[in-house]
Structure 1
Amino acid sequence: MTLQSLTRAWEPMSYGFLDASAKREIRRKMLKAIAVPGCQVPYASREVPMARGWGTGGLQISCTLINPRTRIKVIDQGADDSVNAASIRKFLARVSGAPTTNDALEADLIQSRHRVPEEVLREDQVLVLQVPNPEPLRPVQPNMSIARQMHADADYGRMWLQLYEQIVRSGRVMQGASYPSLVNGRFVMTPSPIPRWDVPKLHMARHLTILSAGREKRLHVVPPFTRVEPLVFDDVPYRVEDHGGLTCQRSGARGYFMNEIPQDDGSSIHEVSDSDLGVKTIRRREGEAVAIGATWYENGEMTS
């Protein structure tokens, strides 16, 4: 027996870019985060060929989970064709040999920046959300050592006070994206900068959601069939964006989250934020047999 027989041939890069040690560590941390839903778990965030703050946390999770049979979908603010989404999708395909898709129904692994697809995800799908700031207490407690102690004590009084002050000053809760939510009745998390529209999609969902912040070196998880409840007062109900009456100017889709596009004359038109859903709607309108899955919302109202 020789040393050479016990080692693999030299390769310029590990499969999936990350080395085996990094993947083992991230897998262990993901399992811990699954066991304690909503709890922030630190990990040794590695360097990847992308600037921190542009999706390095989500990219490391995807590189850890990916294999040659994993079908990948990457979206950025709902769009499949943005520069960020296209770059990450191309990188993941190049380092893994995995196929890619724009269809949420065909994907096994969906990496997203700031949106959850409109079509309901299945049990066998994994959603990876890029998170710039995983700490919901940072606006009320900038000292992270004290913030972690507050999480340990389930001391979220300052967050409730912040929401109360918004109601007193503005008549409603002004928190838009990253709405603080209680996971499994224990930890408050920030669900990435997804809009309020998307937060109810995480509640008792069938899919696994992994939220990772590469710059902050922390991840947290929402396992399947886990309660995710936005922080609200009993007499001030949670409200999503009022997009139920808006119609997509290109596809005609109605009742979904829309992007507002200002026009030269001062008016605005709207396009459905989930670009794949818009493309499917157009293709179906033109007579193609296109499968559109069940959606979380219908006419602006949650279906379940």
Structure 2
Amino acid sequence: MTLAALTRKRADHSYGFLDASAKRELRRAMVKAVAVPGCQIPYASREVPMARGWGTGGLQVTLTLVNPRSCVKVIDQGADDSVNAASIRRFVTRVSGAAGTCDTTAATLIQSRHRIPEEVLRADQMLVLQVPNPEPLRPVEPDMSRARQMHADADYARLWLILYEQVVRAGRIMQGAGYPALVNGRHVMTPSPIPRWDLPKLHMAEHLTILSAGREKRLYAVPPHTTVEPLVFDDIPFRVEDHAVLTCGRSGLRGYFMNELPQADGGVMHEVSDSELGIKAIRAAEGSGPAPAPTWYRAGEFRRA
């Protein structure tokens, strides 16, 4: 027996890096997820050239959906130019031949970590959200077998209890990113670690959203025109982050979700989290580009276009 006999000749990878079997399985899982909105569908998560926990679930879905006519946008915490976003975008375009873009309106396939773009997504666009922990019941039920039974029974009393305890102790619901939401009136999901600001963007949206957790080997979906209702009490309305009065120090935009940047003098400067929206606003003010497309929020108030 020789070493040559134990190895195979070099072969190029499959289109989109993943092999055909992996893509078939993921597509079947996505069809099931669309058919049962919010329900977690298991799949055999494959190895991709990045570490678990850095967006492998979203990357596998993106590689399954991408085709040569796609235009891919990748966001990391709202930014297109971060190392993670730029690396994933470069990898997807290289293995698929698809075009890459930072413009939300030009993209047909958007992969995001922790944010949904501020510009309204269309019916011909798909959003893929990276999810570190897909199980909303994990804080109240660590046994996943029992958690699945609770989902089957639509038993979410313990989640309501957590929210109630927050109201009793703090006077308001303190749940921030990953706020639990009821999808299509049946399954409670955790909508990735997106801020509360982004949760209303999923409700009755025109676009399809796929949420995937590679490390946990599960994905779920929010199809177009599907209700996504945050868990709230009748007398305590759901509130997003109070960023309506904040102004971006670079673009001058006001009434959008902002990042807080500490300054050398001890103060802070705010910058719009959606970096491409800020760039568009600056270019439009300089007369070197078009104005941003319609956004979900205007003056800090959610208004569907």
Under TM normalisation by the shorter chain, which class is it?
over 0.9
Alpha-carbon distance in structure 2 between the residues aligned to 1:264 and 1:64: 45
Q: Does 1:68 align with 2:68?
A: yes
What is the correspondence of 1:77-96 to structure 2 with a 5 Å cutoff? 77-96=77-96
Alpha-carbon distance in structure 2 between the residues aligned to 1:226 and 1:238: 18
In the other structure, the counterpart of 1:293 is 293
In the other structure, the counterpart of 1:7 is none
Alpha-carbon distance in structure 1 between the residues aligned to 2:39 and 2:173: 25
Q: Does 1:150 align with 2:154?
A: no
In the other structure, the counterpart of 1:303 is 303
Q: State whether residues 280 and 289 of structure 2, in contact with CA within 8 Å, keep that contact through their aligned partners in structure 1.
A: no
- Tell me which moved more, 270-279 or 282-291: 282-291
SS of 2:99's partner is coil
What is the correspondence of 1:22-101 to structure 2 with a 5 Å cutoff? 22-101=22-101
Deviation of 1:263 after TM superposition, in Å, equals: 1.2
Alpha-carbon distance in structure 2 between the residues aligned to 1:291 and 1:270: 21
Runs of 4+ in 1 over 2 A off after TM superposition: none
Q: Does 1:223 align with 2:223?
A: yes
Q: Does 1:160 align with 2:160?
A: yes
Deviation of 1:292 after TM superposition, in Å, equals: 1.6
What is the correspondence of 1:1-304 to structure 2 with a 5 Å cutoff? 11-304=11-304
Q: State whether residues 34 and 222 of structure 2, in contact with CA within 8 Å, keep that contact through their aligned partners in structure 1.
A: yes
**What amino acid sits opposite 2:137 in the alignment?**
L
Report Cα offsets for 1:71-125 as digits up to 9, x if no partner: 0000000000001001100100110111100000000000000000000000000
Q: Percent identity?
A: 75
In structure 1, the gaps of 5 or more residues are 1-9
**What amino acid sits opposite 2:253 in the alignment?**
A
State the TM-score, normalizing by the size of structure 2. 0.96
**What amino acid sits opposite 1:249 in the alignment?**
G
Deviation of 1:162 after TM superposition, in Å, equals: 0.4
In the other structure, the counterpart of 2:4 is none
**What amino acid sits opposite 2:58 in the alignment?**
G
Q: State whether residues 182 and 229 of structure 2, in contact with CA within 8 Å, keep that contact through their aligned partners in structure 1.
A: yes
Alpha-carbon distance in structure 2 between the residues aligned to 1:276 and 1:165: 39
Deviation of 1:293 after TM superposition, in Å, equals: 1.0
In the other structure, the counterpart of 1:6 is none
Alpha-carbon distance in structure 2 between the residues aligned to 1:191 and 1:243: 20
**What amino acid sits opposite 1:258 in the alignment?**
M
SS of 2:206's partner is coil
Structural RMSD (CA): 1.0
Report Cα offsets for 1:176-208 as digits up to 9, x if no partner: 000000000000000000000000000000000
In the other structure, the counterpart of 1:5 is none
SS of 2:100's partner is coil
Deviation of 1:41 after TM superposition, in Å, equals: 0.2
Deviation of 1:290 after TM superposition, in Å, equals: 1.1
Alpha-carbon distance in structure 2 between the residues aligned to 1:175 and 1:240: 11
Alpha-carbon distance in structure 2 between the residues aligned to 1:172 and 1:140: 20
SS of 1:276's partner is helix
Alpha-carbon distance in structure 1 between the residues aligned to 2:232 and 2:38: 18
Deviation of 1:291 after TM superposition, in Å, equals: 4.1
